[in-house]
Amino acid sequence: MAVARQGQAPLNHGKINRCAAGAVFDTATWVGEAAGLVVVGYGGLSAEDGKMAGVAPDDPRYSTEPADPQAYTTANDRLYTRFARLYDIVVKASPVWRRWLGHALPAIRGPRVLEVSFGTGWLLTRYAGRNRTDGIDLNPALVAVARRNLARAGLQARLRQGRVEALPYPDASFDTVVNTMAFTGYPDGAAAAAELARVLKPGGRLVLIDIGFPRDGNRLGNTLVQHLWKPFGDLVRDVPALLSEVGLDVTDDEIGGWGSVHRYLATKPAA
């Protein structure tokens, strides 16, 4: 399927991994400001924790899939459980993070919408009232946080715990599937892409926001990807290629982080 890449001036914001108290956070851990630059901290797993010695991609820029996907997922899940409340606070306090997630909103079309790996549910509270909304996340602590946030907003969505590799929905169920800042945390990108595509209706759209290399190859964007996110466990992949392989037509917009944060819109061809 075709891949169209659309140019857009990148925002000068970065998502930077950090260690704290000897642990690498896989939740948003801090919001800083230095020299007028707002920085959102959002760490990942270390290579050791993720056992990163699996299948290597053809392009050496991209991450190697974990040799032990279950170990990677378990360590990831454990950190989210520990820092779920902190993650909620930081997402709400960070205008940069919210701006990135907010790029999904104009692309969401109902009536049926699924958000996969919704985290604290901040984005759900922005659109659930206008659609028949379902959500699924691996981590029970985050499911509980998201339910509280929806209740405080006076909104409802059908939330459940589960894995992206085995979504508990029939084929062709949703008009839009939303996935923000989560795809780099899945141990098997091909399996995740296949499931996200499977549950889309013909003509439906996947809205995916995550990390990718800047198209112009600028030093700041490449530095963020190569020397910060990847070493701490973010699995950076050729997302347009993966989505095309499962039959979706993809467009790619750079939305932040010196071109290192992308919004991918992937449409399932109509039957």
Q: Residue 57 — pLDDT band, cuts 50, 70, 90? A: low
- For residues 264 and 239, the answer to whether their CB atoms sit within 8 Å is yes
Q: What is the pLDDT of residue 146?
A: 98
Distance CA 212, CA 30 (A): 22
Strands 249-256 and 200-211: unpaired
pLDDT in tens, 193-229: 999 999 999 999 999 999 999 999 999 999 999 998 8
**pLDDT score at 3:** 54
Let me know how long the chain is.
271
Supply the pLDDT for residue 2: 53
The mean pLDDT value for 40-48 works out to 41
Name the pLDDT band for 4 (thresholds 50, 70, 90).
low
Closest C-alpha among 132, 136, 142 to residue 83: 142
**Amino acid 42: pLDDT:** 39
Q: Where are the beta strands (DSSP E) in 117-163?
A: 132-137, 158-161
More confident residue, 45 or 234: 234
**Comparison of pLDDT for 149 and 20, the residue scoring more:** 149
pLDDT at residue 243 greater than cutoff 90 = yes
Q: What is the pTM of this model?
A: 0.82
Q: Which CATH number fits domain 3-267: 3.40.920.10, 3.40.50.150, 3.30.1360.120, 3.90.1150.170?
A: 3.40.50.150
Instruction: Place 56 in a pLDDT band, splitting at 50, 70 and 90.
Output: low
Instruction: Judge contact between 213 and 225, C-beta under 8 A.
Output: yes
Closest CA to 62 of 238, 219, 191, 242: 238
Q: State the Cα–Cα distance between residues 185 and 196, nearest whole angstrom.
A: 15
What does the alpha-carbon distance between residue 133 and residue 114 come to, in Å, rounded to a whole number? 6
Higher pLDDT: 12 or 249? It is: 249
- The predicted-structure confidence for 78-96, as pLDDT tens digits, reads as follows 999 999 999 999 999 999 9
Domain spans, the chain: 3-267
pLDDT at 270: 94
Coil, helix or strand at residue 21: coil
pLDDT band at residue 19 under the 50/70/90 scheme? very low
Residue 131 to residue 49: CA distance in whole angstroms: 38
The beta strand positions in 14-169, using DSSP E, are 14-16, 19-20, 23-24, 28-34, 37-42, 112-116, 132-137, 158-161
Question: Which residues are CB-neighbours of 172 under 8 A, at least 6 positions away?
Answer: 198, 199, 200, 201, 202, 204
Cβ atoms of residues 44 and 185 within 8 Å: yes
Q: Region 38-45: what's the mean pLDDT?
A: 38
Q: In Å, how far are 178, 205, 209 from 5, measured between CA atoms?
A: 19, 16, 14
pLDDT for residue 140 is more than 80: yes
Whole-number pLDDT of residue 35:
23
